[in-house]
Amino acid sequence: MKHVIYRNLTSNILRLGFILLLTFSTTVLAQEGDPAKGKTLFNTNCAACHKLDKKMTGPALRNVEARLAEDEGLDREWLNKWIRNSSALIKSGDTYANKIWNEYNQTAMNAFPQLSDQDISDILAYTAATPPPPPEDPCIANPNGPNCGGGEPVDTLSNSIILGALALLFGLLAMALVLVNRTLKRFADAKGIAVAESDKGTPIWKAFIQNQFLVLVTSIALLLASGYFVYGYFMQVGVDQGYEPVQPIHYSHRIHAGDNKIDCKYCHSSARVSKTSGIPSLNVCMNCHKSIGEVAAETQLEGQEYGVDYNAEIQKLYKAVGWDETNQKYTGETSPVKWIRIHNLPDFAYFNHSQHVSVAGIECQTCHGPVEEMEIVSQYAPLTMGWCINCHRETNVKIKDNAYYTKIHEQLSKKYGVEQLTAAQMGGLECGKCHY
Amino acid sequence: MKTTLKITVVLVMLFTIVSCNKKTRRNYQYMPNMYQPVGYEPYQESDAFKGDMEAQLPVDGTIPRGYSLYEIEDTTEGYEEAKAGLESPLDSSAVDYARGKELYDIYCGICHGNKGDGQGTLMKREKILGVPSYDTRELTAGSIYHVIYYGLNSMGSYANFMSEEERWQVVAYVEKLKADLEK
């Protein structure tokens, strides 16, 4: 009897060999580097100073290994040394290391001794990977699709077709009625039948004039109604609620404050400490836009909905602040941006932002509305005196963590016999508080 | 025929009134003399100044009242100098972590993350990349202050967002975050 183990020996050996081959081939692949891992590593370690396709603090890194090998004859060994400790390499007198150091204003690159060989291959694999194609613009494939500039959206199109058909139908019906009426009359004439004419009494307007009481009541009603509208018109003079000017640079609060959740006080920092909530100077924009020269492809697509090219707007910012994107330097040629102020109180009313924002702790949205949802900012509140007074009457004074108010609040709440003082009871209705 | 004419006239008048009410223009004012200030308003346009702006930088060599000089330069050597030698003027009783946190969350947390781990909203949404966690970096009070003052690499200067005292409060809070992360 044969031993069973040898029966499938050949195929077993083959199988084993295949597994061995697979094991080694994965190691070989791993040496190649994993672009996905490399992306994470790149974003945490390198992206503060390097972009793939553009100069930033440091040079662009797309295909850096291949480029170095071709142009400078430098191998992976050199790159490893550079990444792990660039300053040591510069000090050792390496020609290319010194050249690149001087080219980038002698900015020292952080040393990354913690990156393993594998990490570095991953990162390099990421830099060598072919860039993914930009998401396709649905309007190129289908210009009549929803949210596209050209062509009417399908919904409205079919609606207008239906409405048009209905209008045509009614028109035909009306014509048919007129025709039938005319034919019947002709028949009646031919047969000699007199169609009974309706008895014409006094026309209604004559009857109306003859009834003096009705005339009186109507004129009073008309006077009152017109008085109401005239009052309404005069009361809205000087009120700019809904004012929505076109700004020189299209800045979307929806993206910045809404999607990216940047705090209002990040840009409008003086609202915390001064009377005016400042319009941010352009260096505030450049804090982020130094490294964000283009919006994400999805954001750019969103812009079509509003008819805005966000990338062009960022270019306007660069032009105004004098930022040379290719060389990553300020040119010094600046031009002021003429932002249009929306919320503006008349000169005779005093308003202090810090008192409301820092002391009272009022949310910006209470007066300015849901700015984080506005693509174009408009004036939300009427900013009239009645509106101010109303809020002062309804809002309780925030005394928590405010030693300044403790004593006066105690005395005043005893005087008025209330638990919580409103701003009005604290003196928020005194004329001199806002008008002087 | 007359009625048609009248209706057209009324419609045209209504149309003119409605089209006057534009959202992109300010409303009429009763007494513009009382509404518009005589003095300069912040950010007003004015041909009296350079660049036709009312907002101007302080004259070279002057310091606004209540400010002090920061004499360390914005260079690699300056950074090392601040890192080694600069210390916070706030003593332990003056450090207010609540205020530090409030300011940190407004100005720094959006990139550095509210815990200082480099995972702020902008980082998570891949708008800004390469923000390190505080525990992977060697920081001293002086180096933190120096970087807030001048910025570093992609980070811009935050000197104009906060007063000197507020910057030191944020420095204290960043040191606390770093200590928490390293636990």
CB-based contact B153 A347, cutoff 8 Å: no
Question: If you measure CA to CA, which chain A residue comes closest to B137?
Answer: A110
Task: Give A226's pLDDT tier (boundaries 50, 70, 90).
Answer: very high
> Which residues of B are less than 8 Å from A286 in CB distance?
156
Name the 3-class secondary structure at A110.
coil
On whether both A235 and A352 belong to a single domain, the answer is no
Name the nearest CA neighbour of B29 among A228, A346, A381, A229: A346
pLDDT, one tens digit per residue, over A10-64 is 666 667 666 655 555 544 444 577 877 787 777 777 777 777 777 777 777 877 8
Name the 3-class secondary structure at A387.
helix
Say if residue A3's pLDDT is above 60. Answer: no
User: Residue A157's pLDDT is what?
Assistant: 74
**Rounded percentage of chain A residues whose pLDDT exceeds 90:** 17
The answer to whether A123 and A33 have CB atoms below 8 angstroms apart is: yes
Closest Cβ–Cβ partner in A278, A292, A347 for B128: A292
On whether both A236 and A338 belong to a single domain, the answer is no
B106 touches chain A (CB under 8 A): yes
CB-based contact A283 B129, cutoff 8 Å: no
In DSSP terms, which residues pair with A396 in a beta bridge? Answer: A422
Closest Cβ–Cβ partner in B27, B110, B162 for A262: B110
H or E element in which residue A324 lies? strand A323-324
Q: What is the mean pLDDT of chain A?
A: 81
Query: What are the structure tokens assigned to A285, written together?
Result: 């924009």
**What's the domain range around A221?**
212-240
CB-based contact B127 A260, cutoff 8 Å: yes
* Cα(A23)–Cα(A367) distance, integer angstroms: 66
Residue with tokens 């309804």: A394
* Cα(B176)–Cα(B136) distance, integer angstroms: 15
H or E element in which residue A329 lies? strand A329-330
Any domain includes A145:
no
Q: How many domains does chain A have?
A: 5
The answer to whether A280 and B161 have CB atoms below 8 angstroms apart is: no
On whether both A377 and A398 belong to a single domain, the answer is no
The pLDDT of A397-407, averaged and rounded, is: 79
On whether both A390 and A337 belong to a single domain, the answer is no
- Angle (deg, nearest 10), helices A282-289 and A310-321: 120
Say if residue A1's pLDDT is above 60. Answer: no
Name the 3-class secondary structure at B63.
coil
Lowest mean pLDDT among A109-123, A160-174, A272-286: A109-123
Task: Give A224's pLDDT tier (boundaries 50, 70, 90).
Answer: very high
Any domain includes A64:
yes
* Cα(B111)–Cα(B162) distance, integer angstroms: 17
Q: If you count residue pairs, one on A and one on B, with CB atoms under 8 Å apart, how many are there? A: 128
On whether both A275 and A352 belong to a single domain, the answer is yes
Q: Which value, in Å, is the radius of gyration of the alpha carbons in chain B?
A: 27
Any domain includes A360:
yes
On whether both A230 and A252 belong to a single domain, the answer is no
User: Residue A143's pLDDT is what?
Assistant: 45
On whether both A253 and A375 belong to a single domain, the answer is yes
Any domain includes A96:
yes
The more confidently predicted of residues A424 and A111 is A424
Task: Please state the domain extents for chain B.
Answer: 79-182
User: Residue A260's pLDDT is what?
Assistant: 87
Nearest 10 degrees: CA dihedral of A414, A418, A419, A424? -100
Closest Cβ–Cβ partner in A296, A336, A339 for B51: A336
In DSSP terms, which residues pair with A114 in a beta bridge? Answer: none
Nearest 10 degrees: CA dihedral of A47, A49, A54, A58? -140
In DSSP terms, which residues pair with B152 in a beta bridge? Answer: B155
User: Residue B42's pLDDT is what?
Assistant: 80
On whether both A246 and A375 belong to a single domain, the answer is yes
DSSP states along A28-47: HHHHH--HHHHHHHIIIIIT
CB-based contact A348 B127, cutoff 8 Å: no
User: Residue B20's pLDDT is what?
Assistant: 55
Say if residue A141's pLDDT is above 50. Answer: no
* Cα(B169)–Cα(B101) distance, integer angstroms: 9
pLDDT tens-digit profile, chain B (183 residues): 577 777 888 777 776 665 555 778 888 888 888 888 888 888 888 888 877 888 888 888 888 887 888 888 888 888 888 888 887 888 878 888 888 898 999 999 888 888 888 888 888 787 877 788 888 888 888 889 999 998 888 888 888 888 888 889 999 999 888 888 887
Query: What are the structure tokens assigned to A188, written together?
Result: 């009646």
Nearest 10 degrees: CA dihedral of B153, B158, B159, B164? -120
User: Residue A178's pLDDT is what?
Assistant: 94
The pLDDT of A210-222, averaged and rounded, is: 92
pLDDT, one tens digit per residue, over A331-358 is 888 888 888 888 888 888 999 999 899 8
On whether both A277 and A370 belong to a single domain, the answer is yes
Say if residue A210's pLDDT is above 80. Answer: yes
On whether both A360 and A286 belong to a single domain, the answer is yes
H or E element in which residue A253 lies? helix A253-253
CB-based contact B43 A44, cutoff 8 Å: no
User: Residue A222's pLDDT is what?
Assistant: 96
On whether both A336 and A423 belong to a single domain, the answer is no
Exposure string of A365-404, with b = 16+ CB inside 10 Å and e = fewer, is eebbeebbebbbbbbbeebeeeebeebbeebebebeeeee
Q: Which of A82, A108, A128 is the last residue of a domain?
A: A128
Closest Cβ–Cβ partner in A50, A57, A347 for B37: A347
User: Residue B16's pLDDT is what?
Assistant: 65
CATH number at residue A119: 1.10.760.10
* Cα(B10)–Cα(A427) distance, integer angstroms: 50
What are the E-state strand segments in chain B? Answer: none
For residue B85, with 0-12 CB atoms within 10 Å meaning exposed, 13-18 middle and 19 or more buried, which class applies?
exposed
What number does CATH give the domain B79-182? 1.10.760.10
On whether both A247 and A377 belong to a single domain, the answer is yes
Name the 3-class secondary structure at A251.
coil
Any domain includes A200:
no
For residue A197, with 0-12 CB atoms within 10 Å meaning exposed, 13-18 middle and 19 or more buried, which class applies?
exposed
User: Residue A199's pLDDT is what?
Assistant: 66
pLDDT, one tens digit per residue, over A403-423 is 788 888 888 888 888 888 888
* Distance, C-alpha A373 to centroid of its chain: 7
The ipTM assigned to this model is 0.83
CB-based contact B35 A46, cutoff 8 Å: no
Name the nearest CA neighbour of B131 among B145, B147, B143, B117: B117
* Cα(A106)–Cα(A207) distance, integer angstroms: 98
Q: How many CB atoms lie within 10 A of CB A16?
A: 10
* Cα(A434)–Cα(B58) distance, integer angstroms: 30
The more confidently predicted of residues A260 and A198 is A260
* Cα(B86)–Cα(B94) distance, integer angstroms: 18
Q: CA quadruple A37, A41, A44, A49: dihedral positive or negative? A: negative
